[in-house]
Amino acid sequence: MNLEILQKKKEECRTWKNVEPWFLQLKEACKIEKSNLKIDYGDWFSVGKKEDLNEAEYEIIVETAKKLIPWRKGPFKIFDLEIDSEWQSNLKYNLLRPYFNLKDKVVADIGCNNGYYMFRMLEDKPRRLIGFDPSPLTLHQFEFINHFVKSDIIYEMLGVEHLELYNHKFDFIFMLGVLYHRADPVGTLKSLNRGLNSKGEIIIDTFMIDGDDEICLTPNQRYSKIPNIYFIPTIPALKNWLIRAGFEDIEVLATVVTTKDEQRATKWSFDESLEEFLDPNDNSKTVEGYPAPKRVYIKAKKVQ
């Protein structure tokens, strides 16, 4: 499909019955025009202070943030309103931060959610920063925050399968927490490869299982209560996928067991989170009896 036609079709989501309330509330928030707001690129990505607003404006900010629940990625402070997201995404970002330099690079974040990582990346001064995520909710969360940040970040309601339709290639691609949602992981990695410029690099993270064999877990129906988890590889199997997809210089940056410090239910997210996804009698297992969530972070380079 032609990219421009696809983009216009995605934009039609604004009129969907379940999306229209978010859109209308966002329009109210976007009537608040402020400039030269203080931005903090720290763990709580922050823009503005409460004293920048009058009481009525602040109430609109609060109402808009609540209308856009659930907030899965963050945390954010918007005019001192603390949006404590389900995921403490700062932990992942800070883990990865020593392994990339984005200055003057063209960067994509595949599965960008509401843009938390991209807002943090602004401090690196990339030449261009583009997020890909087909979710209407996270689009509106991004637009709510970016209205006040006033960045040049582009948000595309597209998935990894649309990457090669895009009108230019990328120097660096992040794909964090996406690969296990894809029924064809090698094909997905090939899409990333085709979206890269010469010498382009990727950082990905995905669920893993321990072991030296080149195998993967294929969950039956659900994994940690999540329905669309297809393949959970060992690190050797994941490296094989990357090699088949045209990558080299494969570097394992870290392996991390997910804990309640990183993922938990808050008033800004869902009623259930990691605690409810694990076996209450044995937190080393999911409620289905599989090994509990563990992630591997990998950096790789496109074969020249």
In angstroms, how far is CA 6 from the centroid of its own chain? 21
The verdict on whether omega for the bond into residue 21 sits within 30 degrees of 0, i.e. cis, is no
* Residue 16 pLDDT exceeds 90: no
Kindly state the percentage of the chain with pLDDT values over 70.
100
Question: Cα(178)–Cα(223) distance, rounded to whole angstroms?
Answer: 14
Give the pLDDT score at 9.
79
Tens of pLDDT, residue by residue over 62-103, are 999 999 999 999 999 999 999 999 999 999 999 999 999 999
Quick one: pLDDT band at residue 1, thresholds 50, 70, 90? Answer: low
| Residue 220 predicted with pLDDT over 90 | yes
Alpha-carbon distances of 132 from 14, 26, 165, 219, 291, rounded to whole Å: 17, 20, 12, 27, 30
pLDDT of 184 reads 97
Token output for 72: 């899965």
Q: How sure is the predictor about 2, in pLDDT bands with cuts at 50, 70 and 90?
A: confident
Phi and psi at 181, nearest 5°, equal -85, 0
H/E stretch holding 82: strand 81-83
Domain extent listing, the chain:
89-302
Which residues lie below 8 Å from residue 33, measured CB to CB, with a gap of 6+? none
Assign 4 a pLDDT band (cuts: 50, 70, 90): confident
Residue 287 pLDDT more than 90?
yes
Cβ neighbours for 20, distance < 8 A, ≥ 6 positions apart = 14
pTM: 0.95
Give the residue ranges of DSSP H helices in the chain.
3-11, 20-29, 55-67, 89-96, 116-121, 136-149, 185-194, 235-244, 274-277
The closest of 238, 233, 164 to 200, measured between CA atoms, is 164
236-285 pLDDT, tens digit per residue, is 999 999 999 999 999 999 999 999 999 999 999 999 999 999 999 999 99
Cα 161 from Cα 299, distance rounded (Å): 20
Q: What is the pLDDT of residues 29-60, one digit of tens each?
A: 999 999 999 999 999 999 999 999 999 999 99
Q: Both ends of the chain: CA-CA distance in Å?
A: 28
Over residues 125-149, the pLDDT tens digits come to 999 999 999 999 999 999 999 999 9
Mean pLDDT of 197-221: 97
pLDDT at 162 over 80: yes
Phi, psi (rounded to 5 degrees) for 257: -80, 130
What's the pLDDT at 152? 97
Average pLDDT, the chain: 96
The predicted structure's pLDDT at residue 14: 82
Confidence of residue 213 (pLDDT cuts 50, 70, 90): very high
CATH code 3.40.1280.10 for 89-302: no
